[in-house]
A and B are shown apart, each in its own frame.
Chain A
């Protein structure tokens, strides 16, 4: 696609439920990233994929968070047993490759509210 596409745009869920957030990167981009933006923490790196593998998962805040990428394209971020502190904007991004000079392009984010 022309840009990074994320769904849903907004999600309100009850505490304890599982949620899945989807990201469709820019066509041809092999690297895909998830970031989280919250009021208290700013923009935080969660995980990145090069192809279908995730060399760096160091930013995932707990084992309730997981992500996968299939076919070198679409990625899903799953949060199990959601907590109120998980409320944030989850931003997906992609780049041509994982080289640190590549420009990373972001989607509009998925706004998650846990009530």
Chain B
């Protein structure tokens, strides 16, 4: 069965530090999709990125970057020069290509606190 593990429950850093959130996944499928979502205090899950299993290129979007490595089944997320507004809970999720339902399997989330 598919599984997503975010081993870091909570991370606290000082503003402007770089921080990496780890995500490790398990799946038997050869085609799958990985996602990162941000959940600020308002509660809404905000989509950040989607990556398919055939695309191992790293991605950078402003201060955000993602490192996808199939060899280690990891999809880590780095925030460079963190800001207080980055404080939120971040979820990594896995979606498998199966007949019928599309389900996201979420990790337990990492609560990130950026201190001024």
Residues of A within 8 A of B (CB): 31, 35, 42-43, 45, 48, 55-56, 58-59, 89, 91, 93, 95, 98-109, 111
A42 and B109 form a contact (CB under 8 A) = yes
Please, what's the 1-or-0 string for B78-116, where 1 marks a CB less than 8 Å from any CB in chain A?
Answer: 000000000000010001111011111111110000000
B33 on the A face (CB < 8 A): yes
Chain B residue, CB-CB nearest to A48: B101
> In whole Å, how far is B105's beta carbon from the nearest beta carbon of chain A?
8
B42 on the A face (CB < 8 A): yes
With beta carbons under 8 angstroms apart, the residue of B42, B91, B100 that contacts A56 is B100
A108 and B98 form a contact (CB under 8 A) = no
B52 on the A face (CB < 8 A): yes
B35 and A99 form a contact (CB under 8 A) = no
B106 and A43 form a contact (CB under 8 A) = yes
What are 14 of the A-B contact pairs (CB < 8 Å)? A48-B103, A56-B100, A56-B101, A56-B103, A89-B43, A95-B102, A100-B33, A102-B102, A104-B35, A104-B102, A105-B47, A106-B46, A107-B44, A108-B43
Please, what's the 1-or-0 string for B28-71, where 1 marks a CB less than 8 Å from any CB in chain A?
Answer: 00001101010000111111001010000000000000000000
Contacts of A48 in B (CB 8 A): 101-103
Cα–Cα, bound, A55→B100 (Å): 7
Cα–Cα, bound, A41→B95 (Å): 18
B106 and A42 form a contact (CB under 8 A) = yes
Cα–Cα, bound, A15→B80 (Å): 47
Cα–Cα, bound, A14→B37 (Å): 33
With beta carbons under 8 angstroms apart, the residue of B42, B91, B96, B109 that contacts A100 is B96
Chain B residue, CB-CB nearest to A57: B101
Cα–Cα, bound, A16→B100 (Å): 34
> In whole Å, how far is B28's beta carbon from the nearest beta carbon of chain A?
14
